[in-house]
Amino acid sequence: MSTQAHAPAFGSTSPPEDLPRPRSGRVPILGHAWAMLTDPLGALGAWAKERGDLYPVNLIGQEAWVVNRPSEIERILTNGRNFRRDIDARKVRDLLGQGVLTADDPPWLRQRRLLQPAFHRDRIAEYGRTMVGLGSEELDRWASGPRNFNHDMMAVTLRIAAATLFGDGEVDAEEVGRALELVQGRFAGMMIVLPTWLPIPTMRGYHRAIVQLDRLVRAVIARRRERGPADGKDLLSMLLHAQDEDGSKMSDTQVRDEVLTLLLAGHETTATALTWSGHLLSLHPEVQSHLFDEARALGGPPTVSDLPRLRYAEAVLQESMRLYPPAWALGREVAGSFHLAGRDLPDGCRAVIFPWAVHRDERFFRDPLEFRPGRWLDGSLADLPPYTYFPFGGGQRMCIGKSFAMMEGTLLLAELARRFTFQPQPGYTPRPLPAITLRPKDGLMLVLEHRSRG
């Protein structure tokens, strides 16, 4: 493709016999851990220039491989036999248990199989109608002026997640938001996992958040058991009645793990993608105008049947996730052994992949730091190699809610553009916070103004 003519951003495609660790950002004892804890995005940029897209780093005496070469990313993410979830994912288990996001085989395969019917195409279409209705209700309450757009998006997507996935619109978004902030603080610096027993404020807050979220989710389950299965079309009803091939059902703990996983992951990633979309739109009036024209042409609020006519809205969302991928880092751990860059990586060695870096690689995206939704529509990415763009992961563990998230994000983005103009808050610059997702630190302030109904 045409972008291949650009100079490589991450070095040669042929690894040398020896791949030394980066010199920059390395300190005694901690190795590269301090850089990953304090400024991981800056460190990745510096290391890419210094060592390319395939190199080891030292994290407090433990070797990990940074793998940002698409061909090797594909080998890792599509290899369920030689890789398992890494230590970061396992550490989330005290929060999410053995849900589909954190479990390894064989529990993962069973849970995925039981969840899959809830994300069938027909189910997704049903959820879409709820998305539109609840989204419109929330936006009706907004006043013009400065707003914490990240807070707004968290509240909207949380309500949608509760209603579409669990049939429950009574979740306290403020409570979940406060708890999630504590969870995010625990995992700031995704490659660095501190022991949860440390008597520090971050860990105390994290444990409080687990208790709060566990109580919230178990209350939702209890209310559903009291009310009965209703029409059986929501996810919780399906989980409570789902049967495996041998006739076995999920235990209450398994139901809790999946509900909490989808409640948090289902709204957090979409809210983050929409937040950064709003930020980028505020900086690019011409994109905002094009998006408005597309939404206005619908003649009313967007519906599921309008999705084929919302190609530009979808492109805006894709481009936003290219520049600010919610899942900015993915980790795997070698199970057994794996041959990488001329070396046999031993059991337990970590491989860490950064969509943040790959999505901004000029080998694959012309003018990679520019926000250009049109690149997804003009054919220039038609020959994009696999695993140069993977905001939802890849392989058999690709996000089960991908279609759900894309539909929700596209519909909400179109309705936002139809109702409001976006302007940056004067004197305010958002800062990405690399935690479990790539949130803006301390929220994201925007100035929204109602469009004329005429």
pLDDT in tens, 92-142: 787 888 888 888 777 888 888 888 877 878 888 888 888 889 999 999 999
pLDDT at 227: 72
Is the confidence at residue 410, as pLDDT, over 60?
yes
Q: Give whole-number Cα distances, 192 to 174, 175, 198, in Å.
A: 28, 27, 14
pLDDT tens digits, 374-404: 999 999 999 999 999 999 999 888 988 899 9
Main-chain phi, psi angles of 276, to 5 degrees: -70, -30
With bands split at pLDDT 50, 70 and 90, how would you rate the model's confidence at 86? confident
pLDDT(16) > 50: no
Number of H helices, E strands in the chain: 16, 12
Widest Cα–Cα separation across the chain: 66
The Cα 161–Cα 266 span in angstroms is: 6
What percent of the chain is modeled with pLDDT above 70?
A: 89
State how far the Cα of 57 lies from the Cα of 21, in Å rounded to an integer: 5
Structural domains in the chain?
2-450 (1.10.630.10)
Question: Two tokens at 121?
Answer: 């195409």
DSSP calls for 131-173: HHHHHHHHHHTPPSEEEEHHHHHHHHHHHHHHHHHHS-----H
- Name the pTM for this structure: 0.89
The string of pLDDT tens digits covering residues 189-238 is 444 556 676 777 878 888 888 888 888 888 877 877 777 655 566 778 77
Confidence band for 442, pLDDT divided at 50, 70 and 90: confident
- Res 4 pLDDT > 60: no
For the chain, the average pLDDT equals 85
What pLDDT is attached to residue 454?
Answer: 47
